Structure 1
Amino acid sequence: MSRRTPLALATAAAGLLAVATVSSTAGSAGAAPAAAPAARPASCTPTLQAGTQVVPIRFAGGRTDVQVFVPSHRPARVPLVLDLHGSSSNGPAQAGISDLSVVAEREGFVVVNPTAAIELPPSDPPLPGGSWAWNVPGVPTTAGQFPPPGARDDVAFLSAVLDQVGAAGCVDTRRTYATGYSGGGRMASALACELSDRIAAIAPVAGLRAGRPAPDEVSVPEVQSCTPRQPVAVLTFHGTADGVNPYGGSEDLRWGYSAPVAAQTWARLNDCRTGPLRTTLTEHVSLTTYTRCAGGADVEFERIDGGGHTWPGADEPEGPLGPITQEVDASETMWAFFEAHPKPV
């Protein structure tokens, strides 16, 4: 399946959707995440139509428009995948990177592509809809600054997105998943820490975390910053030549400890009893697995030797952020993982 590279995103996003600018009333830092909804009754009439559409999300007294894709054929209770953009990007641009709607149309799941609310300087070339960053709890943005006071609480906002899209789309609450690229992967990781009763599995690309780096020793996670109440299955992809979120870690409080340490920490959080077991998938891709985990929440880590800060499976072998492997398709692989890891009954 073909994918579009980051360089092609401006054109793709322009034709897909103009993202509404988030108003200053869209959220506040003090909002609390919504509690996990009870299982919905067997009968439900979806109000969302098939195809790509904008869904207005009410949050903290304001409205934010969110891009949603609904497949043509869907079960009575449809799975949902939250697909979060990287820093200096937006929801429609991320939809162009992942092309998850192609997989969703075939497999029958909803894809949600929200946009963050911290505005960053425009990218080069500028993206239609602007450049935004997530308020990942406890860490600075790529601009090196902590979110300003009153910045939208994105854990609470994304919980509201799950509530409202879930109700309108008749979503299966046992099959709610999150992925994200770069900063979106860090945000998806934070959701697994904070909303473990709602998120069955995550699959960050170039962005898996297990809590923020410890401020006095960034090579390890701060234990108290990620205390999920339930196990969350984890799949991640990371290139060894990633220059933005380095495979081996960095001194940056935004990133810190290495990608392997993040996977190992999730294996500990999920009480995995077997692993790490490493197997070779292709010439440049290896898989490390941790299994026999609590609640069936396996942890899988795909290492791409020589891979850049890129989404595996994009059209071209190399982009502005380094090589893009063609040996694995992240979107196809993560859906197979998600499908195998619903929340236990």
Structure 2
Amino acid sequence: MRLLAFLLTCLALSMPVAAEIVRLGDRFYSIDLPANPKGAPLILALHGGGGDPDQFASSSGFGRDATNAGYAVIFPAGSGRRGERLLTWNSGYCCGYAARWNVDDIAFLEKVVEDAAARFGVAGDRVYLTGMSNGSMMAETFAALNPALVRAVAGVAGTMDVARYPVKGRVPALIIHGTADQNVPYDGGVGSSSLSRTDFASVDAVVRAFLRPWGGALATATRRIDRRDDGTSVAMTDYRKAGDIVLRLITVEGGGHQWPGGRKARMTEGKTKEIDANTEILRFFALFP
């Protein structure tokens, strides 16, 4: 019985803490804490346009994987009309309510980081960001404007407004995007399936924006992944400065508007099985402890 009690205690100490909802004025965030939250690095994971924290946490499974790796994960809520659960982020040229009413989401996310550090003891100076679609645009924008705070950023299926927001310093970036994305086209422009008529920036424009602060003398290397018969393949290109990776571009050839490895039951084509976004993001973040 003593051995059993000891094992159960060890198991409890190694398990992540259940998600907690925190209200900040008329906004909120959900936080998943690792077993040892004090001083834990912090990831902000931003839902897509029309989503919400619970939806994104459930569909991506990111909170579970990241807390198991020792991170605290915050799923902040975008904004919408009162009582509306279809939330968006103001990333400049997109999207919805947040962009239309020029919501200051940069200030909101800064407040979220400060509150989480004070309330839970997580490391407010070891911040990473990721996001899907409109959340990717917001994550990249926040990182571009806060290079001293952000250790690394990972955007999936969303391109930031590079014409409006310059990247102000060196931020390591991971970009995952499908060439068959009809919501946010890989080559830029208006998506044929997008609910927004936004003229989106191309993936190449975002890559160039994040590389610019690193200067010249960048070495590149590409490897290809095509292990599954799913109609997609992956080209993974690393950009290095003095031997260190500063940007990784993962192009999903034939891939649609999705979080690779996530649940998107309605998608019948362009759903890659070649990579898992959670794995790739956490692997990239681990390069910048």
Taking structure 2 as the reference length, the TM-score comes to 0.82
Change (3 A) 1:232 1:326: same
> Quick one: which amino acid aligns to residue 254 of structure 1?
T
> Quick one: which amino acid aligns to residue 66 of structure 1?
Y
CA contact (8 A) 2:141 2:165 kept: no
CA contact (8 A) 2:211 2:247 kept: yes
> Quick one: which amino acid aligns to residue 240 of structure 1?
T
C-alpha separation between the residues in 2 aligned to 1:299 and 1:227? Answer: 13
Deviations 1:137-172 (A, max 9, x none): x314258x9512xx4310000100011012222222
Is the counterpart of residue 254 in structure 1 residue 167 in structure 2?
A: no
Q: Secondary structure at the match of 1:319?
A: coil
For 2:181, the equivalent position in structure 1 comes to: 242
Structure 1 segments, 4+ long, off by >6 Å, are: none
The within-5 A match list for 1:324-339 is 324-339=271-286
Is the counterpart of residue 170 in structure 1 residue 113 in structure 2?
A: no
Residue 129 (structure 1) shift: 6.5
For 1:89, the equivalent position in structure 2 comes to: 51
For 2:146, the equivalent position in structure 1 comes to: 195
Alignment coverage as a number of residue pairs: 264
Unaligned ranges ≥5, structure 2: 1-15, 192-196, 228-232
Q: What's the C-alpha RMSD, in Å, of the aligned pairs?
A: 2.7
For 1:53, the equivalent position in structure 2 comes to: 20
Is the counterpart of residue 100 in structure 1 residue 62 in structure 2?
A: yes
CA contact (8 A) 2:179 2:185 kept: yes
The within-5 A match list for 1:1-345 is 50-57=17-24, 62-71=25-34, 73-74=35-36, 76-119=38-81, 130-136=85-91, 138-141=92-95, 146-148=99-101, 151-209=102-160, 212=161, 221-222=162-163, 225-228=165-168, 230-251=169-190, 254-271=198-215, 273-283=217-227, 284-292=233-241, 298-315=246-263, 319-320=266-267, 322-342=269-289
C-alpha separation between the residues in 2 aligned to 1:242 and 1:142? Answer: 20
Change (3 A) 1:291 1:93: same
Deviations 1:56-98 (A, max 9, x none): 22xxxx3422111112x22641011100011111111111122
Deviations 1:38-57 (A, max 9, x none): xxxxxxxxxxx921111122
For 2:12, the equivalent position in structure 1 comes to: none
Q: Secondary structure at the match of 1:279?
A: strand
Name whichever structure is richer in helix by fraction. 2
Q: Secondary structure at the match of 1:300?
A: strand
Of structures 1 and 2, the one with the larger relative CO (CA 8 A, separation 6+) is: 1
> Quick one: which amino acid aligns to residue 141 of structure 1?
C
C-alpha separation between the residues in 1 aligned to 2:151 and 2:216? Answer: 16
> Quick one: which amino acid aligns to residue 226 of structure 1?
P
Change (3 A) 1:114 1:305: same
Taking structure 1 as the reference length, the TM-score comes to 0.69
C-alpha separation between the residues in 1 aligned to 2:157 and 2:268? Answer: 11
Residue 304 (structure 1) shift: 0.6
CA contact (8 A) 1:91 1:114 kept: yes
CA contact (8 A) 1:84 1:113 kept: yes
> Quick one: which amino acid aligns to residue 165 of structure 2?
S
C-alpha separation between the residues in 1 aligned to 2:199 and 2:61? Answer: 26
Residue 322 (structure 1) shift: 4.4
C-alpha separation between the residues in 1 aligned to 2:283 and 2:216? Answer: 20
C-alpha separation between the residues in 2 aligned to 1:188 and 1:99? Answer: 18
Change (3 A) 1:174 1:160: closer
C-alpha separation between the residues in 2 aligned to 1:196 and 1:208? Answer: 18
CA contact (8 A) 1:84 1:185 kept: yes
